[in-house]
Amino acid sequence: MTAAFLNGLGTGFALSIMLGTVFFCLVQNSIEKGFGSGLAIATGVIVSDVALIVLSRYNADLLPQGGMMEKAARIGGAGLLLAIGVMGMRPRRPSYEAASTGRGPWLLASKGFMLNIVNPANYLNWLAISVMLTNVFRFDGPQMWMYYGGALTGIFFTELCIAYFASFLKAYITPSFLRRLDLGVAVLFIVFAGLLVWPLVAGSGHQGAPTLP
């Protein structure tokens, strides 16, 4: 149970530092309006993630388990992680213009909710995770929800840290810094993709499979 929570914690950290509209919205508003605005945005993001987890969990339960489904889950999950990694290596020109929000906490929370839930990649991430938890790592119910709890804790804690330290890090959040961070996260996802398909390459099936990042 502890291992499931810690694995989820790591996944939540990896997901929350992916450079996207939520990240820049969080940084921009925390710099301009203080920690409270970041807290409101992070709360909205967590609520949307809970909705996405419930939806992806329901859809994952509709899929058959075992056999070819395990191989498909490994290959599909690795393909998604690899795609995220490759896209993360492309040069980006982040814009802070999309970060403008209303002043009230409810508007800020709504902004975080909408920015997170309208991105189809977030749903695909949670669906891939749900399928792998069932078909690859064979988690039972309690382990699964401990994993999700760890992931949500990791996301919320990381986003609060980003919001808190945003004003201190303002001078360091340069295009070159963001580029290095983006590349680091991209390499991490590519490594995870390789670990996921390695048992298939080695012919070991799900025995000795690495823990889910």
In 3D, which of 209, 143, 184, 146 has the Cα closest to residue 14?
184
What does the buried/exposed string (b/e) look like for 162-191 if buried means 16 or more CB atoms within 10 Å of the residue's CB?
Answer: bbeebeeeeeebeeeebeebbeebbebbbe
Q: Which amino acid is at 188?
A: L
Give the pLDDT of residue 102: 46
DSSP state string for 153-212: HHHHHHHHHHHHHHHHHGGG--HHHHHHHHHHHHHHHHHHHHHHHHHHHHT-TTTTPPPP
Give the pLDDT of residue 160: 92
Give the pLDDT of residue 210: 45
Q: Which residues contact 125 (CB under 8 A, 6 or more apart)?
A: 15, 80
Q: Which residues contact 12 (CB under 8 A, 6 or more apart)?
A: 150, 151, 152, 153, 154, 155, 156, 157, 158
User: pLDDT 10s digit of each residue in the chain, 213 long?
Assistant: 788 898 889 888 888 877 566 877 787 778 778 888 889 999 999 999 999 999 888 776 655 555 565 566 667 767 766 776 787 677 755 444 444 444 588 888 988 898 888 777 788 788 888 888 877 777 887 888 899 999 999 999 999 998 888 867 766 767 777 777 677 767 876 887 787 777 777 765 444 444 444
In the block, which residue shows the tokens 């605005």?
Answer: 37
Give the pLDDT of residue 139: 82
Question: Residue 205 and residue 182: Cα distance in Å, rounded?
Answer: 32
Phi/psi zone of residue 203: left (φ > 0), alpha (ψ -120 to 50 degrees), beta? Answer: left
Q: Which amino acid is at 98?
A: A
